A and B are shown apart, each in its own frame.
Chain A
């Protein structure tokens, strides 16, 4: 595996810290004018999302993390694993519940997701920013209480619960913003 010297540090570089793959988000040189330089680095742990800070004596080197980001199509879930495919070479990947995380709430099949791969293993899955899903369960809205004001809960075909306007009915197809889990419009 490649190692990187501190003078190769830049935002987005993937390195191993505490055994986990991390992405550098900030790199500042700390240095007395004629003295030894140090690199103070902020990095996001790609497994946990936590940000950590670390300082290196300049010219130290750090192990690089073999991390790829790629677009993959969601195929199906077998209950334990979620299966994705790289449509360019039909290679398939099985991601566990930890890697899929919140994305599981928004994907039903055929969506193009973004996958972070570390040493060939899926590390995290990001769903498309917007998905279209059918409402499977919601209470009827009250008559006359149409376009404005008020929301009610609705369950989507993937099992996700979202707040929707009162006029939404079972069987409607909705556009959802997966980044905040909010209803956008009827599709």
Chain B
């Protein structure tokens, strides 16, 4: 398995070398933490200063992009508190890259090309060898996925409607998931994990894109064909396992700062500590981030997909239990 990992890393580097994307390194340890409502940074300490392990190298890479304006990639460790399970390890390996001038669809195509490159370059003969010979890709918008697999329009639904869908489909209703209007996103997330992801084709890579504008994070927001505001954000799945999250990146520093502040308010409402907003990132955006798209890929999970493993600890040298 470690050999297969080494081969995957080698193939990734060859792929980007050929496309003139430059490998970079940025700090794993930062003065700033994430403001994302659903992520928590691990804390560390340097002398008497609190510092944070990165949840992804996104902020630092965008600062590089702002001054460099060139395509870059990084393979590094990322850390997230309270994430442990069959597909989660608190420390994991991430591949992240940025392409100036690309929109979301172009970057999705490049990610698909990388996956094909890795499938062909794999020496393993897993159970399903046809996967490696010719990986299959599906593309669905967030709305299409919900309409197809749950019958609701996610951009216009209510908590009440989600509750009914859960009932009809015999999905367990989690304790603490209420019917307040602000809980629609939590309901959508729950239905995603219970109804939508499991309906994705097995042994197939599925792209889902155009997320609800309220789940934009660091993505641009624009109108889709039906004039609904959507986030230019995509994710990639293998079967029902998430592999990657990408954005057509928001380049507006003022708006990004507002979003960070809003996220912090939501964190405080949820009883969490507010994140320390990365002022350097805001300064870099204000200086001028090129129009670009970027994506983060969980390499441990990708290796699971390539080797037919269903538990993350099978593809790690030492998982959290033994770290």
Contact = CB atoms under 8 A, between A and B. Distances in A.
B161 interface: no
Nearest to B177: A57
A29 B175 contact: no
A82 interface: no
B83 interface: yes
A29 B88 contact: yes
The 6 closest A-B pairs by CB, nearest first: A57-B176, A35-B189, A60-B176, A55-B174, A36-B189, A36-B186
B83 A31 contact: yes
B205 to A, nearest CB: 15
A33 B301 CA distance: 12
Contacts of A32: 189, 192-193, 197, 242
A29 B83 contact: yes
A63 to B, nearest CB: 12
B175 A55 contact: yes
Given A59-B270, A60-B175, 17 more contacts: A28-B86, A29-B83, A31-B83, A31-B88, A32-B192, A32-B242, A33-B235, A33-B242, A33-B245, A35-B185, A35-B186, A35-B192, A36-B189, A37-B38, A38-B193, A57-B186, A58-B82
A29 B83 CA distance: 7
A36 B190 contact: yes
B85 A34 contact: no
Nearest to B235: A33
Interface residues of A, number: 21
B167 interface: no
Nearest to A41: B175
A36 B270 CA distance: 11
A143 interface: no
Contacts of B38: 31, 34-37
A46 interface: no
A58 B39 CA distance: 12
B177 A59 contact: no
Contact of B175 (A30, A33, A57): A57
Interface in A1-48: 7, 28-38
Interface residues of B, number: 30
A36 to B, nearest CB: 4
Contacts of A30: 85, 193
Contacts of B84: 29
Contacts of B190: 36, 38
Interface string A144-156: 0000000000000
A55 B235 contact: no
Nearest to A56: B175
B183 to A, nearest CB: 9
A58 B270 CA distance: 10
A31 B271 CA distance: 19
A60 B176 CA distance: 6
Contact of A31 (B172, B175, B193, B217): B193
B86, B189, B242 interface centre (most CB from chain A within 10 Å): B189
Contacts of B174: 38, 55-57
Contacts of A54: 175
Contacts of A35: 38, 185-186, 188-189, 192, 215
B139 interface: no
A35 B266 CA distance: 13
Contacts of B242: 32-33
Interface string B117-131: 000000000000000
B36 interface: yes
Contacts of A36: 38, 185-186, 189-190
Interface string B207-219: 0000000010100
B172 A34 contact: no
Q: Most A CB atoms within 10 A — which of B83, B86, B176, B215? A: B176
Interface string A134-149: 0000000000000000
19 contacts: A28-B86, A30-B193, A31-B83, A31-B88, A31-B189, A32-B192, A32-B242, A33-B235, A33-B242, A34-B36, A34-B39, A35-B188, A36-B186, A53-B172, A54-B175, A55-B172, A57-B176, A57-B177, A57-B186
